[in-house]
Chain A
Amino acid sequence: MNIRTARQWMVTHEWMVKPMAQAEWIQGKGVLVWLAEVFSALGTGLYLVSVFFALKEDFAITAFWAGIFGWIMIAVFKLPLHLAYLGKPWRFWRAFPPFSNAWRTSWFSRGVVFTMIYLGFAAVQLILQGLVAYGRAAFDSGVMDANYAFMVLAGIFCVMTSIYCGFAMSYCKSVPFWNTGLLPIVFLLMGIADGLALIMGVGLVTGEDVIATAESATRIMLIINALLIVAYLVNANYQSITAELSVKELIVGHLAWVFWLGIVILGIIVPFAISVASYFTGKEATAGLLVFAIVCHTIGAFSLKYGVLKVGIYRPLLPRTQAY
């Protein structure tokens, strides 16, 4: 019997009979989660990159301001957006130890703790970095030694802040597309690439010569990220039929424009092309072109999180549809 002539439809209640897309974290108020996660990637990426640039005296001012912007993105955008999403925001303190021991099992709770610790260490580090950047302390003084120590501490918690949302999502067996260990790595490395793009913008304003260094790092990161995204999608494609549906939805479904235009073209190809062009011509890209690349890259960051959240599809409930 030709299956395409077979009629089958759902009656009474279609809930979880066929694969359903998750809506809680992307539709309606869920948009706030998406925005918070984007600022998380941008903020942590920018801060991590700023830490590396802070190691060189020539880039001290750029590293300082990049760190400040990264910190602001987490403290002023990410956390308040997460808070605004909560049904009972004034109960936020319940996620913190000692009011809750949920950090032992909950990635959400761990993430909140990581973020707060990161913000504390990073605030101290940025004060020390500011002292060095604006000549209040010498680069080889004890202040810089303390700065190194706080860079390490803040850097570790920044990485954890960056990856926890990937772990939180990959924990969900209900959504096979997310249920992979690659997700935190994708979020971390894409965040670093975003940070490299943003620090070029900071460099344009401060006038320090960070662009050449950032561009060469961007080239490598974009190649790694492109390969990682391909690996992620191929892995999901063979993981389960529901994950395969998510992949198809992203690549050829009604979210294809987000993937191809947002993630691939604007997020990867355009910044990579501008970066490669400056490599072959031997000249740095013009300020206008750099700003264009940064904007494209940032759109890519928004698109990546949107696409991943939007194609999260639950595996159906019934044995009859166990093919999924």
Chain B
Amino acid sequence: MTRWGMVINLAKCMRCHACVAACRIEHFLPLRVTWPRLIAVETDEGYKVDVSTYPVRCNQCKEAPCVDVCPTEASYKREDGIVAIDSNKCFGCRYCVIACPYQNRTYVSRKRDPGYFPGFSKTGFEKKGEKLYPHQRGTTEKCNFCMERIDAGLAKGLKPGIDREATPACVNTCQARALTFGDLDDPNSNVSRLIREKSGFVLHPEYGTDPSVFYIDYKLGGNDNKAPIEAQTGSHIQHLSSVYEPVKEKLAKRYE
């Protein structure tokens, strides 16, 4: 069996956003819809400045909560492990958006798809997108590992992760080679070797979702979270500053 997966090397990612742009172009994404995201935390503790960048996208979980909760079976799991959405079946209840622990699904609303230049005629990019990769307002979308490319490539006898034509657009575009794509079930594949040799880890394994997107780096991978407690509490305080004021002091004292 094949299970497509991705390994993201955090140490190589240089936050150029090329993967985000490539995905946008590949899938003609509406203005405010982004399938892969790049999130970054900048910490400045006075003596040490650090930036951690995390490219995130749908984890194509083996035990996908989004598939379980979908009331119309619009979300489904393919034999190759890719979690896909049939937009013609989705009725937009957004249960999957809430149930996804990684928050990698986007509901395409009028607000998120106002057109690239609202009030003006559509761009050539939008017009082409309507024909080649239509997006339905009122449904949910997410990264699908460019399954169209994979399927077309396999039909031509190409190997996803090796041959560019059969590989996801973001992986092809990454100039730092931070993204690697391949078969997780093949112990000799490039992704399996990377995970094994460089202690690949997944986000929130405690959810039991068994994601197909792995991360490697030289700070966290394979080990316990080594982020200093100050960094954790720092982000905690950051959150508290925007959420609620009265207990900020109490929680701050707890972590002192």
Contacts and interface: CB of A to CB of B under 8 A. Distances in A.
Given A102-B72, A320-B41, A172 B99 contact: yes
B39 A22 contact: no
Contacts of A101: 73
A252 B101 contact: no
A254 B247 CA distance: 12
B138 A88 contact: yes
A26 to B, nearest CB: 10
B31 interface: no
Contact of B91 (A13, A89, A324): A89
B103 A8 contact: no
Interface string A308-320: 0000101111111
A105 B94 contact: no
Contact of B103 (A4, A174, A254): A174
Interface in B123-167: 136-140
A94 interface: yes
Contact of B235 (A1, A173, A320): A320
Nearest to A318: B54
B194 interface: no
A299 B232 CA distance: 39
Given A108-B69, A314-B103, A2 B256 contact: yes
B89 interface: yes
Contact of A22 (B98, B204, B237, B239): B98
Interface of B: 15, 37-46, 51-54, 56, 65, 67-74, 89-95, 97-103, 107-109, 111, 136-140, 201, 203-204, 207, 220, 225, 227, 230-239, 242-244, 246-247, 252, 255-256
Given A8-B231, A24-B97, 18 more contacts: A3-B252, A4-B252, A6-B44, A13-B37, A86-B91, A87-B91, A87-B137, A88-B91, A94-B74, A101-B73, A106-B69, A172-B99, A174-B103, A252-B244, A316-B235, A317-B103, A320-B225, A322-B227
Interface of A: 1-20, 22, 24-25, 28, 85-89, 91-92, 94-95, 100-102, 105-109, 112, 168, 171-175, 241, 245, 248-249, 252-254, 312, 314-324
